[in-house]
Amino acid sequence: MKFKEALLSLSRFQKRLIFFVVDLFGLYAVAIVATWIRLGYIDASIEPFLPAIAILPFLAIPIFVTQGLYRAVIRYLGSKFATTVFYSVSFAFVLWATAIFMLQWPYPRSAILIAWLLTLLYISATRLFARWLLLEGLHKDLSILKSVVIFGAGTSGKQLASAIEKIPNMRVIGFIDDDETLYKHQIASITVYKRENLERLIEKHKVSEVLMALPSITASERKKILDWLEPFALKVSTLPSIDEIVSGKVSFSDVREVNIEDLLGRDPVPPRAELLSKCIEGQAVLVTGAGGSIGSELCRQVIKQNPKVLILYELSEFALYTIEHDLLKSGALSTTKMIPILGSVLDEFKLGRVIQKFEVDTVYHAAAYKHVPIVEHNIQEGIVNNAFGTHAAAKLAAENGVKNFVLISTDKAVRPTNVMGASKRLAEMVLQALQQEFTTTRFVMVRFGNVLGSSGSVIPLFRKQIIDGGPVTVTHPEITRYFMTIPEAASLVIQAGSMGGGGDVFVLDMGEPVKIDTLARKMIKLSGFEVVNYSGEGDIEIHYTGLRPGEKLYEELLIGDCVDGTDHPRIMTAHEDYVPYGQLLQLLKLIENDLKLYDYEIVLERLKTVVSGFEHPSGIVDYLAKSGMST
């Protein structure tokens, strides 16, 4: 290893000088050996041929220099380098033969051809030997080599294998591919195997990771492969999707860990262009909560539909700065004026002035407190922001001629067991009631479940816990949730917001619910670890911490059974009861007074009278609850 380290520590000039000397003496040796081969005996005198032999390096080496044979990094040799060697050596020997003929120096003519072939072999062999010496020959301890298998022997797999060749201490053992015609074929000297060969490769070569090079397959096909790989103690990484590669965000050599969307296997439905642009193109659009997980993605997708004005309304200075910077960096603002506004939806004077000044046509209301345990400990802020804030924003929008108002709601509003869910259902009912009062504004609610990668999402938490060696914390072994990616959720919100006649509660098709415990186990397995079993064997433990205040085992999307389809396969419309605006307004005033007194028991009782199915089994855990409340 010291010899290798000494070689690697040499300067670039010193390494080039070594090759220069090796080529100088090698070319002399080649010219001499070629004459011996031609004459048929090794003790033949070469004295008559010395002038021709002496000139060969002085013709060849300058050509090698100009063609970059001394600039190439030995570890990164490829097919292009082989082509360069062939043309450089051939050109040098054409010059050498020309000089011999013109100067009429004695040298066997057929020996020139022999010397050309020997030089091609010598130049190639010295570079390949140096490459082997640096990358393979000195790896006496094979444990430092990471053995990987590539799933997919197509173009992407070949490019990935080529990229891995440049990574020290990593080697590709083989390809796995379902194409029977490729079985046992060699691709870049790497053998293609069937799926059933994987276990033998793991045992023989200590394979530790599988790299999926299938960027163009569907999400459901990807999930099937991941399910097949799950029993093996392997880390699984994957190339990005073909859309990400084509868009230029990533390249074929960018490998990432398996994402949760890969595990869900949900194939996205292409959005309908007319629904995306209907409430946006050429209009003034306001997004409240613009810096949040959903709000920021709404902004990114809204701006693609060429609004006249996009107003970013956000309470957090950092969140506002972040989304503004992202949109400016995206280069999508050529025809859109962007207005970042720092403010709260509870500041009615300011929000009203924004709507009036910029003549807002469409509002996407994403400003909300959404973390169930935090709202349980901060009941007043949760209800005031989620319900009263929605009422203020929606009423101001209607009074100032906004055409479309779209509320981002949640599955937790259905038969809620927590204050956050109840506050969101109350917000929905506010819009349903306002629709009867302000018929010129179209109020729409869009209800969906958990989005992947949002702030507070369980997935980044699991990933960090796995990296830290565990334990992975799950609240309950039976807890299930619906999941959807942020881009798909935002796209469907925009499309649903363009549908219906007003007062509609749209429900997004979230697919099949996922058991969180199963999800955690899959993530551990596909990270190359084993879950600790009952006998204590394994790498990472799963700890069950118990349900948090207000948390449900199962989420629902519908209060009743009355639901209709729409023209979009992923969007349904629910028929939910509502309370007349006057009656609802009186209830809001009573709740407001109770909140000021921190009398949360009364608040919850009032919510139960209006929010269908609301139960609150966990008790009051708000830190500021009125004296005598449980804490």
Contact 63, 84 (CB under 8 A): no
pLDDT of 138 > 90? The answer is no
Whole-number Å distance between alpha carbons of 483 and 266: 10
Burial (Cβ within 10 Å: 0-12, 13-18, ≥19) of residue 327 = buried
> Which pLDDT band holds residue 65 (cuts at 50, 70, 90)?
confident
CA-closest candidate to residue 301, choices 268, 344, 330, 266: 330
List, in sequence order, every residue forming a beta bridge with 365; answer none if it has no partner.
288, 407
Structure tokens at 565: 């389809």
Give pLDDT, residue 628.
Answer: 46
Give the C-alpha distances (Å, rounded to integers) separating 323 from 290, 304, 309, 471.
7, 15, 15, 34
AA identity, residue 375: V
Greater confidence, 268 or 521? Answer: 521
Other beta carbons within 10 Å of 5: 9
Q: How confident is the model over 243-250, as a mean pLDDT?
A: 46
Which is it for strands 190-193 and 235-238: parallel, antiparallel or unpaired?
unpaired
Q: Where in the chain is the domain with CATH 3.40.50.720?
A: 142-258, 273-610
Q: How confident is the model over 334-359, as a mean pLDDT?
A: 95
Give pLDDT, residue 355.
Answer: 97
User: Lowest-confidence range among 365-379, 421-435, 500-514, 572-586?
Assistant: 500-514
pLDDT of 608 > 90? The answer is yes
Contact 176, 197 (CB under 8 A): yes
Whole-number Å distance between alpha carbons of 474 and 596: 36
Q: How confident is the model over 312-323, as a mean pLDDT?
A: 96
Domain 273-610: CATH superfamily is NAD(P)-binding Rossmann-like Domain (3.40.50.720)
Positive or negative CA dihedral for 489, 492, 497, 501? negative
Residue range 19-49, pLDDT digits in tens: 788 888 888 888 888 888 888 777 777 778 8
User: Lowest-confidence range among 68-72, 128-132, 243-247, 304-308?
Assistant: 243-247
Q: Is 628 left (phi over 0), alpha (psi -120 to 50) or beta?
A: left
> Which pLDDT band holds residue 556 (cuts at 50, 70, 90)?
low
Whole-number Å distance between alpha carbons of 608 and 614: 5
Whole-number Å distance between alpha carbons of 443 and 49: 96
Greater confidence, 224 or 377? Answer: 377
Residue range 92-102, pLDDT digits in tens: 889 888 888 88
Greater confidence, 67 or 438? Answer: 438
Contact 185, 159 (CB under 8 A): no
> Which pLDDT band holds residue 80 (cuts at 50, 70, 90)?
low
538 Cβ contact list (under 8 Å, min separation 6)? 529, 530, 531, 532
Burial (Cβ within 10 Å: 0-12, 13-18, ≥19) of residue 557 = buried
DSSP 17: H
Residue range 279-301, pLDDT digits in tens: 999 999 999 999 998 999 999 99
SS3 183: coil
CA-closest candidate to residue 251, choices 219, 209, 221, 215: 215
Rounded to two decimals, what is the model's pTM?
0.67
Mean pLDDT is highest, among 473-482, 551-560, 594-603, for 594-603
Give pLDDT, residue 551.
Answer: 76
Of residues 412, 522, 525, 552, which has the active-site annotation?
A: 412
pLDDT of 538 > 90? The answer is no
The CATH architecture of the domain made up of 142-258 is 3-Layer(aba) Sandwich (3.40)
Give pLDDT, residue 250.
Answer: 43
Burial (Cβ within 10 Å: 0-12, 13-18, ≥19) of residue 81 = middle
Task: At 528, give phi and psi (nearest 5°).
Answer: 90, 15
Whole-number Å distance between alpha carbons of 56 and 96: 6
Which is it for strands 362-365 and 404-410: parallel, antiparallel or unpaired?
parallel
Give pLDDT, residue 479.
Answer: 86
> Which pLDDT band holds residue 456 (cuts at 50, 70, 90)?
low
Whole-number Å distance between alpha carbons of 68 and 71: 5
Contact 96, 55 (CB under 8 A): yes
Greater confidence, 617 or 261? Answer: 617
pLDDT of 266 > 90? The answer is no
CA-closest candidate to residue 502, choices 436, 442, 447, 581: 442
285 Cβ contact list (under 8 Å, min separation 6)? 279, 302, 307, 309, 310, 311, 360, 361, 362, 363, 364
DSSP 412: G
> Which pLDDT band holds residue 141 (cuts at 50, 70, 90)?
very low
Residue range 469-492, pLDDT digits in tens: 889 999 888 888 877 788 888 998
> Which pLDDT band holds residue 64 (cuts at 50, 70, 90)?
confident
Mean per-residue pLDDT over the chain, rounded: 83
At CA 416, angle to CA 411 and CA 417, rounded to 5?
130
> Which pLDDT band holds residue 257 (cuts at 50, 70, 90)?
low
Give the C-alpha distances (Å, rounded to integers) separating 147 from 268, 269, 526, 601.
34, 37, 16, 61
Verify whether residue 412 is a known catalytic residue: yes
Q: How confident is the model over 391-404, as a mean pLDDT?
A: 96
Q: How confident is the model over 599-626, as a mean pLDDT?
A: 92
Task: At 139, give phi and psi (nearest 5°).
Answer: -85, 70
